[in-house]
A and B are shown apart, each in its own frame.
Chain A
């Protein structure tokens, strides 16, 4: 994986991309481009998702059965088809598990970092 040499942009932690994708799909089905744009927008352009990691991640989730994919027509004239991913029941369960794990982790990191900032 090529290192992302970004200015002011943060490279994603290993494994968090999967969680973010699942979280994005919680709002409804989306195709790869939409997911990437959504992550970029909602993070205030901080998170830049490389296609090189997005698509392998999507396929990994599909293989694990956490997302399902279907080709659907969309766009202005419904002439183009996109591969829409949606969350499966197993994916929802996975998201809940990952979220709680993430929160735990975030709290733990905050506790470690907190005093130093103050002190």
Chain B
């Protein structure tokens, strides 16, 4: 717009002046001059038209546009002239900016983003516990009572996420679901996208409307293709019929950040879906997230105090029947705490916040390295242009104008870097989300940009621009004119001391990153390979979902039939079953004691338990140290027996022979005889010592409390090859049971998610840092050689050998590297302290890792220096002196 307007103005003035010129010439002709003379006279009368035009332009304020365009044209010409530097700069900026922004975006979505509901600031999340040890799960009877009692201060609602099978027409898929209390949507303030949402009337046990469901926009699109007739349609959820009442808005994912709930059911429908064990009646089952909206005019702390008074009554009224007396004191010491609920709750937060912050710090370091590298490259180039700038300054160019010229170049680079970083951002956010998945379902994080993101990106870009652009610009225009013009080969040391300092810092930073990467990679390798008390290869895990179909005894029969079938399949070495799969994250914990044993503290009775089928230890690769394995004969008819692990033996009997000893549950009298001892095997955490564990035969247990035994198969070859035959076999034995398959290696990799994430990223960051550093070292060395051409020529003319010249260059660089490494060692110790949680088998100050990183960086420096050093050695004295 402005441009065309400007063009027409220019033409306008041109025309105006021409018409004046013609009139003037015509008048002169009338005065009697010849045509040619008249034209000249008119021209003279008009004067300096270029100056005139310039002044008119100034009137209209075009000059700054003009000069900016000039800067841009000149800047891009300069950048294109040295494509190597430009590409290096743009790439490192893009990677640094993109990665930093991506990690911030994930943190932002995970921690800060408010739920897409009205007035999220009035929402609170309930926690309870003793002292500072808080938990955010509640039992239904407690929630139901507290909701009624606390009505005056806060509207409470509950939700609990899960996963169910949805069947409707040709749709048959496992989806993320949640049970919610009836006024969940009303209190949150969510409006239906289609149909209606759940209402308090739907959440009444036994009422027919308890079997209505609300689906998400996403599911509506993907499973029902946006069909509006979906409202009122009957669907099967785990083979229980439900009617779809409505669709939630597109941006509503639930209150749990990290997952996207596709189907919402009233809590009252829970008994229909899980008939054998109803959580709604269980006073000791903590499974609900409770949130609330404060009543208008009430502040959070006041409401919290009030609710705490009510909570005492609620606790008294809902004491679990089976709770041992010794837990009573702790049970009543429980108190309620309000946490801000504006950004919902998330099980991911406690796990991912710290790794993400560490990674954000690492990417910021990368950005810093990239910035300083860019600054160095620009500074080196500006130094090379020093004479040009000096000449411009001396013929009257303003310093401000020159700075603007240099800044324009930086801005051009930054713009290209930003463009590249957008691509890097997109790739890394999606890549990270794909990396962070559990059992095939991707975490859902709303990473759409918001104000906080915009502020962060703008701030980051500005800081970056200043860091790498302004400093060189200020520095290069500050020289004394006479000095710059007079000296054709200024002393290098003085000129590039800042550049060297920057390079030192760079080396230190990338050294820290590298140490972190090496430590993490070594930890991951150890975690993946050390003997944890079980094998990791050639194991296939099978989880049949029989929960909604079978009673306990039928489940056991089903498991045994399945085991018999699997054992006869070719390629199977052995097969077994257990209620808990090691390292799966779930656990059974109970208090056991040995006959005659008195512990000093209650917690000293605490044991981990597993219910297993025969052959469990052979299948898992856990060594049997004494006695015998559990067998088919250990059933209801036989005496009760158990296998325990070494830690158990050590706690109760020390060095005594444990075989034949009797143990029992702390509150029960049934005696169990120890028939075998196995080696310690990790239960659910690689970093913790194996807990004292008791293995009981599946056949001797009355109830698995709704838990379904998982099957473990030890195979000869690739476990994946057995998935198809096992699936066929199970389908024949029991129709309608859905089964999930996973190899044990896959399960462990899932458990090692943070370690893998941190290692993968820190290794890439470390590599990136070194790459950027190598470019920087090369740049500085090459620059130094080119500036010292004359000096080196003199040295060689006086008899220095090429080898001596190379040593000279190397010595200079190695001093730099040593300084950088010393700083880096300190930085590495600091950085790796934060990594301690994820390290395994190595200490933060591990000497081989430090030494390895040092050697590696020294090698890289040598490599990057060798090219300019060879060039220096090849200098011909005569030509070098003529160069002067």
Contacts and interface: CB of A to CB of B under 8 A. Distances in A.
B800 interface: no
Interface string B41-79: 000011110011001101110000000000000000000
B56 A33 contact: no
B17 interface: yes
Interface stretch (A22-30, A76-84, A103-111): A76-84
Given A31-B19, A63-B60, A83-B12, A56 B24 contact: no
B47 A55 contact: no
Interface string A36-79: 00000000000000111001100110010000000100000000
Contacts of A33: 19-20, 23-24
Contacts of B12: 83
A63 B59 contact: yes
B16 interface: yes
Nearest to A32: B20
B16 A2 contact: no
Interface string A83-110: 1000000000000000000000000000
Contacts of A55: 13, 16-17, 52, 55-56
Given A33-B19, A33-B24, A60 B47 contact: no
Interface of B is mostly: helix
Nearest to A37: B27
A59 B60 contact: yes
A81 B16 CA distance: 9
B807 interface: no
B46 A51 contact: yes
A52 B60 contact: no
B29 to A, nearest CB: 14
Contacts of B628: none
**Range for the number of chain A residues in contact with chain B:** 10 to 19
B597 interface: no
Nearest to B61: A63
B60 A2 contact: no
B47 A59 contact: no
A55 to B, nearest CB: 6
Nearest to B46: A51
Contacts of B13: 55, 59
Interface string B1-22: 0000000000011011101101
Interface in B18-38: 19-20, 22-24
B16 A32 contact: yes
A98 to B, nearest CB: 19
Given A32-B16, A83-B15, A56 B52 contact: yes
Contact of B59 (A50, A56, A81, A83): A56
B818 to A, nearest CB: 64
A86 to B, nearest CB: 15
A66 to B, nearest CB: 13
A2 B19 contact: no
Given A55-B52, A63-B60, A81 B19 contact: yes
Contacts of B51: 52
A51 B60 contact: no
Contacts of A83: 12, 15-16, 19
Nearest to B24: A33
Interface of B: 12-13, 15-17, 19-20, 22-24, 45-48, 51-52, 55-56, 58-60
Interface of A: 2, 31-33, 50-52, 55-56, 59-60, 63, 71, 80-83
Given A52-B51, A56-B52, 15 more contacts: A31-B20, A33-B20, A50-B47, A51-B45, A51-B52, A52-B55, A55-B13, A55-B56, A59-B59, A63-B59, A81-B15, A81-B19, A83-B12, A83-B15, A83-B16
19 contacts: A31-B20, A32-B20, A33-B20, A33-B23, A51-B46, A52-B52, A55-B13, A55-B17, A55-B52, A55-B55, A56-B52, A56-B59, A59-B56, A59-B60, A60-B59, A63-B60, A71-B15, A80-B22, A83-B19
